[in-house]
Chain A
Amino acid sequence: MILLLIARRFLGLLLTLLIVSVLIFVVMDLLPGDPASVMLGTSATPETLAALQRQLGLDQPLAVRYVTWALAALKGDLGTSYTYGVPVAGLVGERLAVTVPLSLLAVALSIIIAIPLGVISAGRRNSLVDYGASVLSQVFIAVPGFWVGLLLVMLFSVTLGWMPAGGFPGWNAGLWPALKALILPAVALALPQAGVLTRVTRTAVLEVMNEDFVRTARSKGLSEKTALWVHAVPNALVPVVTILGLQFTFLIAGAVLVENVFNLPGLGRLAYQALTQRDIIVMQNVILFFSGLVIIMNFLVDLAYLAIDPRLRAGVR
């Protein structure tokens, strides 16, 4: 029964991806300008333009191009970038080497900031510490990530000269130089996440603290601290992890801006570039990758709920 449900959700997931991919293809095609005229600039003759369009296959009708791409994609060939003339899979792979570590670093940072802050403010509910943490988390949420990026550059790169102002030396340059280039952008990305996460953690811990088993534990004479960290926190992690999954969408959206501020050759920048160069094939794959990630995250979160919450499972049966 539960397998059937999963299968149905999975089918829905594929359908969503399919619709998204058609939408992107159509929208990108409707945009003024095409990759051939972007590449040829302002001196090209009309026949040159036609020749390039022919070579790129742009003279084919939209539907034909879509089906060709989709069929090849099903076989694992994601297509060739119009502008770079190389397979998209490789391009995306290169960029993932920046975006994935960046996102992971940001998630790690936000956890490091948020969990202790949330737990402590839950443990000392309505104290000054709690209010302070609350205001702090609100501020984290309120500041735009790209602005934090600018401020960090101003302080650590322009004034102090400790950190690179942007760009990515590549992992070949060594672990530390590469990580160093990712730290400031990761901080800029992590702060809003940390704000949301702090609040979720606090609420979740408070709820668990009120549940019977924690109350029992406390009435048995367990110290407040032990009750909090040993019993409440692990049980409160479920909603926290869920929110982490859901926040992923915002993380990726933020990455587009932050990668631009810090000039990082990540996936967000690739999408931005592909858009300006009208590179439909690249755009298609990058957005599908993003949306696939988001949809799968949602799917996993749903599954997690099913696994955790017996009531939902009962409902299924």
Chain B
Amino acid sequence: MRYLLRRPILLSGLLITTFLFVVALLSLVWTPLPPTKMQIVSKLKPPLSVGLLGTDHFGRDIASMLMVGAWNSLSTSLLAVAIGATLGTLVGVFVAAVRGFTETLVMRGCDIIFAVPPILSAMMLGAFMGPGRFTAIIAIAVFMVPVFARVTLGAANQIWTRDYVTAAIGMGRNRAKITITHILPNISNQIIVQVTIQLGLAILTEAGLSFLGLGMPPPTPTWGRMLSDAQTYLGQAPWMALMPGMAIALAVLGLNMLGDGLRDLLDPRDQS
């Protein structure tokens, strides 16, 4: 505990993230009001006059929508990162084990994915599959795969040159076994740090996709769509834009700080 207190970044990251997860999980069983309940008579009411954080253009309770939005945003991002991290790590350790032409091929593939701006390819994906949670997850995961592949490959390549690994190769152990017993355990810290940081990025991307109308369909509240709905109400109901934006910023901030703190804790060598 004292250790945590000496690391304010890690501690605040942990607190913010925990808070968000608690709110998100709570929304599954309880929200102040049903988040999709429309009350046209009490539309565009400011915070505290109706509900804790006011109402939107349909008279829905913004606080409740934000809570459910937290769940949608976190779960979508978690799934996307989980898919991206798993596939990316697998590709990374595989390539590190075989090297050679495969490495060139995979790295070229990563280049191709990186070459198209993520928002544009997500828009094409959206036009193709239609908007929805699945589209958002795939669009985000596609970009996570090369990120994790590169991180894993770089880290794994270093481990492969270590003496004990060279020794293991000399003893005739097969490469798959070495990957499992030596490589993966030694790079897991870097992957965990990367997961936290990419989670923040995923939340930002998911919000952007929802903002463009490529996220989950209504009436499911998402932070991005709440923001896009708020655009024409900036003058009359600024809280409609303020609240979801702050929620996104808080979530990303929490995850980034957690990632930073974890990096200091687990991976003190690399501090960029």
Contact = CB atoms under 8 A, between A and B. Distances in A.
B47 to A, nearest CB: 16
A203 B271 contact: yes
B118 to A, nearest CB: 5
B49 interface: no
Interface in B232-258: 234-235, 238, 241-242, 245, 248-253, 256-257
A291 B115 contact: yes
A137 B139 CA distance: 27
Interface string A191-218: 0000000011001000000000000000
Nearest to A276: B127
A174 B125 CA distance: 39
A257 B256 contact: no
B55 to A, nearest CB: 19
Given A27-B124, A139-B253, A150 B245 contact: yes
A83 interface: no
Contacts of B252: 141-144
B127 to A, nearest CB: 5
B249 A144 contact: yes
B245 A131 contact: no
A138 B234 contact: no
Contacts, number: 127
Contacts of A78: none
Given A138-B253, A139-B249, A257-B212, A20 B120 contact: no
A28 B120 contact: no
Nearest to A278: B127
B8 interface: yes
A172 to B, nearest CB: 29
A256 B118 CA distance: 10
A249 B114 contact: yes
Given A252-B117, A257-B208, A31 B128 contact: yes
Interface string B118-131: 11100110011000
A38 B143 CA distance: 31
B116 A291 contact: yes
Interface in A221-276: 239, 249, 252-253, 256-257, 260-261, 271-272, 275
A20 B127 CA distance: 18
Contacts of A147: 227, 241, 245, 248-249
Nearest to B244: A147
B161 interface: no
Interface stretch (A11-19, A49-57, A58-66, A306-314): A11-19
Interface string B67-99: 000000000000000000000000000000000
Interface stretch (A90-98, A99-107, A151-159, A175-183): A151-159
B1 interface: no
Nearest to B242: A151
Contact of B257 (A138, A199, A260, A290): A138
Interface in B192-217: 200, 204, 207-208, 211-212
Contacts of B238: 154
Contacts of A146: 208, 211, 227
A252 B207 CA distance: 17
A154 B233 CA distance: 10
B44 interface: no
Interface in B107-159: 108, 111-112, 114-120, 123-124, 127-128
A109 interface: no
Contacts of B250: 142
Contacts of B108: 12, 15-16
A28 B124 contact: yes
A121 B115 CA distance: 34
B220 interface: no
A294 interface: yes
Nearest to A203: B272
B10 interface: no
B117 A253 contact: yes
A30 interface: yes
B272 A294 contact: no
A155 B253 CA distance: 23
A274 to B, nearest CB: 10
B65 interface: no
Interface string A103-124: 0000000000000000000000
Interface of B: 8-9, 108, 111-112, 114-120, 123-124, 127-128, 200, 204, 207-208, 211-212, 227, 230-231, 234-235, 238, 241-242, 245, 248-253, 256-257, 260, 271-272
Given A15-B108, A287-B117, 6 more contacts: A12-B111, A144-B208, A154-B238, A203-B271, A257-B208, A291-B115
Interface of A: 12, 15-17, 19-20, 23-24, 27-28, 30-32, 131, 134, 138-139, 141-144, 146-147, 150-151, 153-154, 158, 199-200, 203, 239, 249, 252-253, 256-257, 260-261, 271-272, 275, 287, 290-291, 294-295, 298
